[in-house]
């Protein structure tokens, strides 16, 4: 691929960001990751301009119009609870006429709404957790016959937000308490579903028209004290000083039977395609009591930090960090099926027409 002009955009809105040293979800770490992405793209000879976005889209529009990038590398991530701004920013960039990395607006919005995306996956005949229910008011809890244990999520969050030691519940009282907390704290519905106790896997996916599964990663909870539920909670994901973080390990490549790995990969690819994901993604899967893979969620535009998550899995497949970023840029020009090149602003960049 030729040398391209790349605009690397990220969310620099600060108010809602936790900014403690031990919290690797903080703005400090985000900036570090953005610098790493810029370095990785420059290693492939692209000309990178980093553009923080802190609320005013018209400023971004002007900067893009001046730069006229060949492609916008999207690292815009919501930080406001329950917000679906990721999809708005993605739609805006495409309306301006610039090719955009990762998933289109529709997939970003859909995958952030866990109930909607799980309903869609279920409708498409894919395996989802049993008893998945949306709780908009506490009295909705009375409409179901529950089989415990259950897990209670905030329905529109990601990155472990809202998940803690009390999220897996064994009794009606604990269920009610946690659902009440979610409704109150996150001001959004709670999502309740059967807690699956089996092994947990992450499937990294890379590519546009040709989507490739990276070597499987397994979440290893075996060193976690029995009093802490084996889940990827906020602490396990981000808080380096917590027991959850220190005692949860990722094994990549996972030690898993080839037939099971193939089934997990096929399931993940179908799920990513079903929500309209593109370019790169990560599907979280857990085995049920019969050893069947069940989809927990599809992550469109998952974290791209080097050495972790998708980047680690890609590395195990021989895709070094700059190669992974290059594959993501390449996919942006292949264009998701319903994402036409149709700029609707007069001043919009010509960009580059998507390759269809």
* Cβ-based neighbours of 202, under 8 Å, separated by 6 or more: 216, 217, 218, 219, 250, 282, 283, 284, 285, 309, 313
Q: Does residue 232 interact with ligand ADP by CB under 6 A?
A: yes
Binding mask 255-284 for ligand ADP (x = CB under 6 A): -----------------------------x
Q: How far is the CB of 151 from ligand ADP (least distance, A)?
A: 5
Query: Which residue, 244 or 284, has its beta carbon nearer to Mg ion?
Result: 284
Q: Does residue 286 interact with ligand ADP by CB under 6 A?
A: yes
- Extract the tokens encoding 276: 């309209």
> Of 127, 85, 147, 179, whose CA–CA distance to 297 is shortest?
127
Query: Which residue, 72 or 239, has its beta carbon nearer to ligand ADP?
Result: 239
- CA-CA-CA-CA torsion for 235, 297, 267, 102, nearest 10 degrees? -100
Query: Which residue, 92 or 234, has its beta carbon nearer to Mg ion?
Result: 234
Q: Could you give the CA distance from residue 106 to residue 104 in angstroms, rounded to a whole number?
A: 6
Query: Which residue, 220 or 334, has its beta carbon nearer to ligand ADP?
Result: 220
Q: Does residue 189 interact with ligand ADP by CB under 6 A?
A: no
- What burial class does residue 256 get, using C-beta atoms within 10 Å of its C-beta: 0-12 exposed, 13-18 middle, 19+ buried? middle
Q: Which of 97, 102, 104, 129 binds ligand ADP (CB under 6 A)?
A: 129
Among positions 282-311, residues that touch Mg ion (CB under 5 A) are 284
Question: What pairing do the DSSP bridges indicate for beta strands 5-11 and 47-53?
Answer: parallel
Q: Does residue 23 interact with Mg ion by CB under 5 A?
A: no
251 pairs with which residues across the strands?
Answer: 218
Q: Please give the backbone phi and psi of residue 249, each rounded to the nearest 5 degrees, phi first.
A: -120, 155
> Of 218, 153, 162, whose CA–CA distance to 192 is shortest?
153
Binding mask 139-178 for ligand ADP (x = CB under 6 A): ------------x------xxx--x---------------
Query: Which residue, 43 or 250, has its beta carbon nearer to ligand ADP?
Result: 250
Query: Which residue, 201 or 321, has its beta carbon nearer to Mg ion?
Result: 201
* Contacting residues toward ligand ADP, per CB under 6 A: 129, 151, 158-160, 163, 193-196, 200, 231-232, 284, 286, 296-297
């Amino acid at each position: 691929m030729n040398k391209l002009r790349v605009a690397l955009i990220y969310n620099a809105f600060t108010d809602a960001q936790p900014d403690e040293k031990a919290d690797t979800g903080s703005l400090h770490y985000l900036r570090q990751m953005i610098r790493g992405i810029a370095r990785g793209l420059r290693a492939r000879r692209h000309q990178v301009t980093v553009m923080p976005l802190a609320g005013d889209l018209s400023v971004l529009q002007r900067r893009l119009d001046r730069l006229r990038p060949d492609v916008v590398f999207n690292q815009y991530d919501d930080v406001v609870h329950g917000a679906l701004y990721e999809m708005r920013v993605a739609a805006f960039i495409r309306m301006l006429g610039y090719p955009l990395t990762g998933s289109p607006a529709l997939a970003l919005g859909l995958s952030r709404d866990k109930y909607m995306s799980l309903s869609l996956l279920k409708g498409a005949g894919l395996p989802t957790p049993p008893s998945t229910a949306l709780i908009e008011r506490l009295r909705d809890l009375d409409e179901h016959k529950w089989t415990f244990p259950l897990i209670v999520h905030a329905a529109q969050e990601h990155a472990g937000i809202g998940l803690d030691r009390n999220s897996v519940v064994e009794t009606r009282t604990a269920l009610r308490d946690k659902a009440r907390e979610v409704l109150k704290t996150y001001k959004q519905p709670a999502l309740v579903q059967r807690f699956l106790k089996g092994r947990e896997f992450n499937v990294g996916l890379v590519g546009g028209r040709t989507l490739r599964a990276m070597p499987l990663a397994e979440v290893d909870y075996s060193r976690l004290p029995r009093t802490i539920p084996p889940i990827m909670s906020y602490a396990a994901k981000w808080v380096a000083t917590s027991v959850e973080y220190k005692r949860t390990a990722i094994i990549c490549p996972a030690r898993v039977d080839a037939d099971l790995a193939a089934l997990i990969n096929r399931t993940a690819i179908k799920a990513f395609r079903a929500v309209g994901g593109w370019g790169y993604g990560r599907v979280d899967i857990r085995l049920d009591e019969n050893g069947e893979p069940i989809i927990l969620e599809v992550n469109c535009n998952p974290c791209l930090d080097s050495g972790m998550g998708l980047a680690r899995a890609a590395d195990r497949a021989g895709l070094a960090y700059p190669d992974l970023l290059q594959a993501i840029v390449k996919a942006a020009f292949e264009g998701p099926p319903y994402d036409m090149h149709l700029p609707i602003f007069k001043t919009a960049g010509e960009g580059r027409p998507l390759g269809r």
